[in-house]
Amino acid sequence: MKVILLNDIKGVGKKDQIINASDGYARNFLFPKKLAVEANAENMAKLKAKEDSNQYKKSMEKEEATKLAEKLKGILLKISIKAGENGRIFGSITSKEIADNLKVQYKIDIDKKKIDLKEPIKTLGSFSVSIKLYEGVIGTLNVQVISQ
């Protein structure tokens, strides 16, 4: 019997997957515990509509991420911090400071975990920082660290 899984079941399959299950297993275990529904025409149409909706949502999120990547290209984020004589700064600039300054100066909210900073910035100057906006979409932000 073909069934559509409503939840992930270890050793059986993932959610929204169509599997062949024995009649007894489906009727006595999967259906009573609401882990699956029969793969009839109505349920298949619902599954198709759900997949189409998810696909549309993902394409919209990717489009928004692409627009944000274009917007980030034209931004020069200036961060001022106390510095010593030879250009070394007191402390360092981390991805959290970059995210906070981006939110304050340009009202763009980006999670600090998405900012790909190999190591904290410890000197004055200009730096190019990559930001993972979406799967396959990476934006570049120019950061200029200046002395107060």
Domain ranges of the chain: 2-64, 68-147
pTM of the model: 0.71
**pLDDT tens for the chain, residues 1 to 148:** 999 999 999 999 999 999 999 999 999 999 999 999 999 999 999 999 999 999 999 999 999 999 999 999 989 999 998 888 887 888 889 999 999 999 999 999 999 999 999 899 988 899 999 999 999 899 999 999 998 8
Helix runs in the chain, H state only? 23-25, 41-73, 95-106
70 burial level (CB within 10 Å; 0-12, 13-18, 19+): exposed
- What's the topology of domain 2-64? Ribosomal Protein L9; domain 1 (3.40.5)
* Domain covering 68-147: architecture: Roll (3.10)
8 A C-beta contact, residue 108 and residue 102: yes
